[in-house]
Every structure is written in C-alpha cells, then in structure tokens.
Amino acid sequence: MAIVETKLLTKKYNSFTALKDLNLIIEEGDIFGFIGPNGAGKTTTIRILSTLLAPTAGVAYVDGIDVSKHPYEIKKILGYMPDSFGVYDGMRLREYLDFFGAAYKIPRAKRSAIIDDVLTLTDLTSKADDFVSAFSRGMKQRCCLAKTLLHDPKVLLLDEPASGLDPRARIEMRELLKTLREMGKTILISSHILSELGDMCNKIGIIEHGTLLAAGNYKDILHSLRQDLEVLLEVVEGGDAAAEILASTPGITGVERSGNEFRMDAKLDRVQLADLNTRLVQAGVKVLSFTQDEGDLEDVFLHVTKGGL
Ligand SMILES: Nc1ncnc2c1ncn2[C@@H]1O[C@H](COP(=O)(O)OP(=O)(O)O)[C@@H](O)[C@H]1O
Ligand SMILES: [Mg+2]
C-alpha cells in the first residue's frame, strides 16, 4: 500500500520551477532513498510533504490524507528531520526532549518513559544530562532524530541525515535506520551522497532539476539503464569448455579471460543468463560463480543524471 504518494506535484518559486510534475510512490515499510545533486528539489519535496510548504500544483498524500487539506493530521503521523537544525544553548538533552515532548502534547506522566525509550533507541542514554550544544555533529543528528521520534510517527522524512557525518557516525545512523525499519516505520531519506544509500534502501528515486528520472527497486533501475550487462564467470575446472560455449553464445561479446575467470558483455535477459549458466554446468564446467557486475549506486547515478553534478 502506498503510504506516501504525490501526483503531478509542482513547486514554483516565482517563475523558477523547482519541482515539476513529481509522481512519487512510497510503500509502507520502504526505506526510500531520494537521491539527487544539490538543487534537485529534494528539500522542496520533503517540505511539501511535511506541510511546511504549499505546492503550486498537484497533490500529496501521506497515509491517504491530503497534506494541504489536513496539515494537523499529517503532523501526527509524520516525523520530519530537517537538513539543518538549530542548537539550543543551555539545554541538556533530557530537557530538550522534554521541551519538544510538551510541544507534541505528550502528557507529562508519559513523557519521561517515552524520552527514555528514544534515548535508548538513539543510543544517547548516557548523554541525557549533557548540554546539546556541546555534542558532535553525529550526536546532534541522533538527538534531532530522537526528537523526531517522540510522537512515534509512522512515516519519517529525513533530509540528508548523513551529510557531514564521519564514517563511524554514518554507520551508527545506518544501524539506527535499520532498527527503525524493523519497527515498521516507513522512511524517506534524501542524500546527494550515494554510496550511503546503496545498502540501506530497498527503493530509490533519482531526481534532478525537479524531475524524477527513475524510481523503483534499485536492481530494476540498474537493469533498465544498462544496455549491456557485464557478467563475471569464475570456474574451478573446465575453463576451455567454458570459453568455447561463451564464444558460440549469441549475445555474448567481448569475452576477456584471465585463467579461470571470465568477464564479458551480455545482451541477455535474466532468463537467458540463467540458461547459459545451465549449459555451462551441463557441459561439465565447474562453475564457482556467475554474476552480474552490478556496479554501485554511483554508476546508476552517473548514468541517469546528465548534468548538474
Ligand atoms: N525559497 C526559495 N526561493 C527561491 N528558490 C528556492 C527556494 N528554495 C529552494 N529554491 C531553489 O529550488 C531548487 C531546489 O532546491 P531544494 O529543494 O532545496 O533542492 P535540494 O534539497 O535537492 O538540494 C534550487 O535551485 C533552489 O535554489
Ligand atoms: Mg536539500
């Protein structure tokens, strides 16, 4: 079921079109990576979804509710973490969370247990009595996420949560997002840093100049973009037999062999690739691995986006 959906969503800042006819679908339980270079329109989209910005045209729904018509309902089910956040001088973490808990109208009696929960979740329990302003960037991010989780939102919109984090803080953020997903939350996470999202998101959408260029399952996107797949074959025995079979298979070109390892271009669909694998095995070749070189997210991104990088 689509929990976030936009239809022909458009945003103009005066005459400048920042977002053009965006159709986005995020299903319940997805971790959706919203990827694009700076200025692509990610923040604009996220701010519209979180009711902070009115679209020029089009509609957006969260959990079936029109965000423009029912902002108050949306705020209850949505957690929005902006790409930059103010520092609250002189506030200790627990006070900071209590302040926002009160703002979310969480009853005082329940608040401290909820705060303990989000502190545990974000691994900040030991920092509860420290000043927020003294935190590292990674800790501030987690503290902002803790605040975003106070009202237990179904959907999280995280705008560039990993930007400016050191590698360790990034790994911690990634682990935290995994936990949140296991808790059943739907997460949209934006980034212009691609390698971060690769192993974290089940779906991605690539946006540039306000237009969604591709969206869906990461592997499907990769497959549809690649004309020629690079295939890697490694055998333990039967290298010569394998070479003959490859040479006589239509659609296989540019075979490079190095010992028992082969690299080739394949204009074959997935079923044809599987059939080729079967033929190799039936001819007595001991196949160790037969895989598509899927490249990484960086490749997909460079393929899809033409400029603006
Ligand atoms: N308040 C604004 N007024 C005018 N232009 C804006 C405003 N906010 C964003 N833009 C422009 O809209 C485009 C998209 O911005 P944004 O959504 O922040 O992109 P991203 O988050 O992908 O970097 C950019 O070209 C940006 O300069
Ligand atoms: Mg942005």
CA dist., res. 252 & res. 273, Å (int): 10
The residue nearest atom 27 of ligand 1, judged by CA position, is: 39
pLDDT at 33 exceeding the cut of 70? yes
Q: What is the dihedral of CA 68, 72, 74, 77, to 10 degrees?
A: 180
Angstrom distance (rounded) from CA 300 to CA 36: 11
Interval 29-35 mean pLDDT: 93
Is the Cα dihedral 12, 16, 21, 26 positive or negative?
negative
pLDDT tens, residue by residue, 182-238: 999 999 999 887 666 766 788 999 899 999 988 988 777 766 666 567 889 999 999
pLDDT at 87 over 70: no
Q: Which residue has its alpha carbon closest to ligand 1 atom 6?
A: 13
- Structural domains in the chain, CATH included, are 2-217 (3.40.50.300), 226-297 (3.30.70.100)
- Tell me the pLDDT band of 110, cut-offs 50, 70 and 90: very high
How big is the chain by its Cα radius of gyration, in Å?
24
What one-character DSSP code corresponds to residue 216? E
38 lines ligand 1 (CB under 6 A): yes
Does the pLDDT of residue 88 top 80, yes or no? Answer: no
36 lines ligand 1 (CB under 6 A): yes
Mean pLDDT confidence for 55-73: 97
Minimum CA distance residue for ligand 1 atom 16: 41
pLDDT of res. 9: 98
Is residue 308 very low, low, confident or very high in pLDDT (cuts 50, 70, 90)? very low
Lowest mean pLDDT among 100-114, 165-179, 222-236, 268-282: 222-236
Considering the chain, what percentage of its residues have pLDDT values greater than 90?
Answer: 66
- In this prediction, residue 309 carries a pLDDT of 38
Question: Mean pLDDT over residues 49-63, rounded?
Answer: 97
Residues of the chain above pLDDT 70, percent? 91
Sheet strands side by side (includes 286-292)? 252-258, 261-266, 229-237, 286-292
Nearest-angstrom CA–CA distance, 243 and 220 = 29
Summarize pLDDT for 113-170 with one digit per residue, the tens: 999 999 999 999 999 999 998 998 888 888 999 999 999 999 999 999 888 778 888 8
Ligand 1 pocket test, candidate residues 10, 15, 43, most atoms within 8 A of CB: 43
Q: How far apart are CA 277 and CA 155, in angstroms?
A: 42
Looking at residue 116, its pLDDT comes to: 96
pLDDT score recorded for residue 169: 81
For residue 281, the model assigns a pLDDT of 96
Q: Which of 17-31, 39-53, 54-68, 167-181 has the lowest mean pLDDT?
A: 167-181
How many CA within 13 A on the CB side of residue 130?
A: 13
Is the pTM of the predicted complex or chain greater than 0.85? Answer: no
The structure tokens listed for 286 are 């001991």
